[in-house]
Structure 1
Amino acid sequence: MLLLQVVILASILSYGCAQIHLRQAQLSVTRGKGKTARIDCEASGIQEFGNAYIHWYRQRPGEAPERILYISSGKPVFDKDSDKNKFNCEKKPDQPISTLTVNEIAPNDGATYYCAYWDRTYGIKYFGSGTKLLVSNIQAKFNSRKIQVLPPSSEQDGKVSYMCLIQNFYPNVIKVTWEDDKKNAEENAVHEEIWDPDANQQSYSISSWLTVDKNSNKNYRCKYQHESKEGSRPIESPDTPVVSQTTEGCINKPENGTTLSTDITDSFMHRTAYLIYIVLLLKSTMYYVIVLFFIYRMQSPIKHRGKKP
């Protein structure tokens, strides 16, 4: 009987805990010095959200998180009086959203901000995923025309790989995932590091690989989420020719008066992407050949020793 009661209690606790979720949809917020930033936290599963205690934390790079304030049904309560002019917090009465406002942004305000909810019933504190505040005069950008999802590579050990290449975005806070047509997420993805091909323009790029069975009949999509834009891109057909995805007649005019067509630049970027793709395939093929060679060398002495003189 005691065991049954424990099982029932654990089920109730797990059910109640699983219903609460804090969602911070903004991966990042980019603002210049002296500007104002607003960071949202959407709650679900919290009964009587108007009276619930929502906390806000700040975590600077290399430091532990520190609480800034908490808010219930009235005005926010600050941990430090010096933060009263810097921050403000409110709840929307018509929906379960808490918003943290950062005023007169300074360089040391650059950090990741987390919302949290303390569930007194179960003694658990729930945290959001965090929103990164970047202090920069460069505006956030994302060029959806600079996305390629390349066809599958050559088969190796019954597996094929797809590559999603995303270029020309800022800041470098981005989330890339893979899903099929039924919106089911794929976990067999490898995300490469973000690299900066042009430091002068602060333009970042990222590649993501998905390896699946060659007999998989699913149609995969590369899903991306960025401060400026979010969406997904299907895999390109192997028969689709590689062409520039810029608008015709779009011309860049540098300060020295020389005109450079963006078609040439895009063509160069696309060729570079395919060269990277081919080099990685050749690299994996070389590893495969080397492994076969060593297996052959290891088996050859065994065969010679087995022969009678």
Structure 2
Amino acid sequence: MLLLQVLIVTSTWSYGYSQITLLQTPLSVTRPVSKSARMSCKISGFDFNSNYIHWYRQSPGAAPERILYVRLASVTMDTGFDSKRFEAVNDDSTSTSNLRVHQLTREDAATYYCAAWDTSSGIKYFGTGTKLVVSDIQAKFDSTKIQVLPPSTEQDGKVSYMCLIQDFYPNVIKVTWEVDKKNVEENAVHEEIWDPDTNQQLYSMSSWLTVDKNSNKNYRCKYQHESKEGSRPIESPDTSVVSQTTESCINKPENGTTLSTDITDSFMHRTAYLIYIVLLLKSTTYYVIVLFFIYRMQSPIKHRGKKP
């Protein structure tokens, strides 16, 4: 696993005056058994037609294994993979390699990586990865279940905003913070994705952004999921929770009615603050435990050399 992480780091590399990049889309693909899945890898920074493009599969708990490699219209399959099920097609006009997996089985559930073999330097560059989820559950993302809460506490001249995202599937999501379309990830902390213990297998997560209390910038929580992507501004503490999304991800019902009610919004707001408090208590508990162990470790040192 460590080896793969090292290889992925080389997905962007300065080579001469160009930068080799391999960008895979989408983040995840969710399909049921016996259906087909498609993923793409856009490559820039080197001669797409003169180099080999590889596709790898990494199953959970296993090492990456190469499926095939392609150059121009020639595809070479590795041993153990069926050419009828795994198909690679390169689009020279967009410098994009497309992988299709047909007749899906449960064993196909894995993370797939594209790789570019630069023959001039002898270096292989890996893409960002696409997770294939083989499930009867359809991908879901409810933009009305997103909240970016205003800060409620202040410490050392800093305040923290929380972006709470609930009820999405699968558990593959990318969340970032930005201001004026610029990334501010250096001040962000992302909590682990958690399962709310429901039969629907829906996931939730939270992300925190810590900034100076006097900052008047308009921070936004940006999200990217298989089903939807967009961003959400910080909600005003003087108004009720209102579902807001960017124009690219607004869903309007055909009958013209709104998707949320005051009751739903009020419940979501209370739930978000409850989670906010729980996370703060958890952090405080960890702090107390660490102080306790530090005290226990220092006590023998203080008594060292004293007679019983």
TM-score bracket, shorter-length normalisation: 0.7 to 0.9
Q: Select the structure of larger CA radius of gyration.
A: 1
Letter in 2 for 1:28: S
CA contact (8 A) 2:105 2:134 kept: yes
Matches within 5 A, 1:53-132: 53-80=52-79, 82-132=81-131
Deviates further, 121-130 or 197-206? 197-206
In the other structure, the counterpart of 2:40 is 40
CA distance in 1, matches of 2:26, 2:243: 31
Change (3 A) 1:236 1:85: same
Q: Secondary structure at the match of 1:277?
A: helix
Letter in 2 for 1:79: D
Gapped regions of structure 1 (runs ≥ 5): 1-12, 252-260, 292-309
CA distance in 2, matches of 1:233, 1:164: 9
Deviates further, 181-190 or 26-35? 181-190
Gapped regions of structure 2 (runs ≥ 5): 1-12, 245-251, 291-308
CA distance in 1, matches of 2:109, 2:281: 42
Q: Deviations over 1:20-67 (max 9, x none)?
A: 1000031100000000001100011122x1232100000000111000
Change (3 A) 1:93 1:182: closer
Letter in 2 for 1:273: A
The TM-score normalised by the length of structure 2 is: 0.78
Deviates further, 129-138 or 282-291? 282-291
CA distance in 2, matches of 1:51, 1:289: 59
Letter in 2 for 1:71: V
Letter in 2 for 1:37: A
The TM-score normalised by the length of structure 1 is: 0.78
Q: Deviations over 1:94-138 (max 9, x none)?
A: 210100110100000000000000112222111001000000011
Q: CA deviation at 1:182?
A: 3.6
Change (3 A) 1:19 1:90: same
Q: Secondary structure at the match of 2:182?
A: coil
- Number of paired residues? 269
CA contact (8 A) 2:35 2:103 kept: yes
- Identical columns (%): 71
RMSD: 3.0
